[in-house]
């Protein structure tokens, strides 16, 4: 009887520990058919704090491994605002018990084809055994039909840009330019004529998506210095 009670307590303790693990809802994200001219950071994984200790709300993340072409740049976005291009260190975030935070692993492709993989690990500052990893696999291809349409529809320069970016429409006319951060938030809108300079000096440094929305919608990556 005594042994049965001890065994039951051990099982209950293991179950509690299992429930306390903080995890990503998706451990692996795959994007096998990306056009080499653009990556839209559409894949998201949510990290949830399942800890039972109410004081265990401080977490860290760091890059565990990456194998990508030399032209590419890994960017990790987490929460609603923070995006870290080419992360090199360990980064802190706070997450209440039962709360979730979005993570995106993306790549600036620089119009270079190839395969890439990157992994990060997130863990509790209080108990480093409470951890989970997130891996993103992508394959960037030269999707000729998509790429040629984008290239022939409009050009932006300079890119990277510090403040004024010029947009040339191949067929002239005017369009509405919308700029999104890589989390998908609309941060800028302006109507312009072909050849106009658009002042984006107030935007923070980082990677954005500029999208022209008219009869058809086209988009490209924009690098803000």
Tens of pLDDT, residues 4-51: 434 343 334 444 444 457 899 999 998 877 766 666 566 889 999 999
The tokens of 182 are what? Answer: 């890589």
Delimit the CATH 2.60.40.3080 region(s) of the chain: 146-224
pTM comes to 0.67
Q: How far apart are CA 56 and CA 199, in angstroms?
A: 44
Could you please state the CATH topology (level 3) that the domain comprising 20-141 is classified under: Immunoglobulin-like (2.60.40)
Pick the most confident of 17-26, 44-53, 190-199, 203-212: 44-53
Residue 53 has phi, psi (to 5 degrees) of -80, 115
The tokens of 218 are what? Answer: 């086209």
Please provide the CATH number assigned to the domain covering 146-224: 2.60.40.3080
Q: Which residues contact 109 (CB under 8 A, 6 or more apart)?
A: 34, 36, 37, 38, 39, 71, 72, 140, 221
Q: How far apart are CA 210 and CA 13, in angstroms?
A: 52
8 Å CB contact between 132 and 27: yes
Delimit the CATH 2.60.40.10 region(s) of the chain: 20-141
Q: How far apart are CA 73 and CA 68, in angstroms?
A: 8
What order do you get walking across the sheet with 164-169 strand by strand?
154-157, 164-169, 197-199
């Amino acid at each position: 009887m005594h042994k049965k009670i001890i065994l039951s307590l051990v099982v209950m303790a293991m179950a509690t520990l299992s429930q306390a693990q903080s995890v990503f809802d998706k451990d692996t994200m795959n994007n096998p058919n990306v056009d080499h001219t653009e990556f839209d950071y559409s894949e998201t994984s949510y990290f949830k704090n399942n800890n039972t200790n109410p004081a265990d709300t401080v977490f860290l993340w760091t890059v565990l491994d990456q194998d990508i072409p030399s032209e590419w740049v890994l960017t990790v976005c987490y929460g609603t605002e923070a995006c870290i291009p080419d992360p090199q260190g360990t980064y802190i975030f706070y997450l209440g018990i039962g709360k979730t935070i979005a993570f995106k692993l993306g790549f600036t492709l620089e119009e270079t084809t190839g395969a890439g993989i990157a992994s990060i690990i997130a863990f509790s500052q209080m108990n480093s055994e409470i951890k989970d990893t997130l891996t993103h696999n992508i394959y960037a291809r030269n999707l000729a039909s998509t790429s040629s349409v984008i290239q022939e529809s409009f050009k932006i320069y300079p890119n990277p840009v510090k403040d004024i970016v010029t947009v040339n429409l191949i067929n002239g006319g005017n369009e509405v330019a919308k700029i999104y951060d890589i989390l998908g938030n609309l941060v800028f809108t302006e109507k312009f004529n072909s050849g106009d300079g658009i002042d984006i000096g107030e935007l923070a440094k980082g990677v954005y998506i500029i999208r022209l929305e008219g009869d058809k919608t086209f988009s490209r990556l924009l690098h803000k210095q």
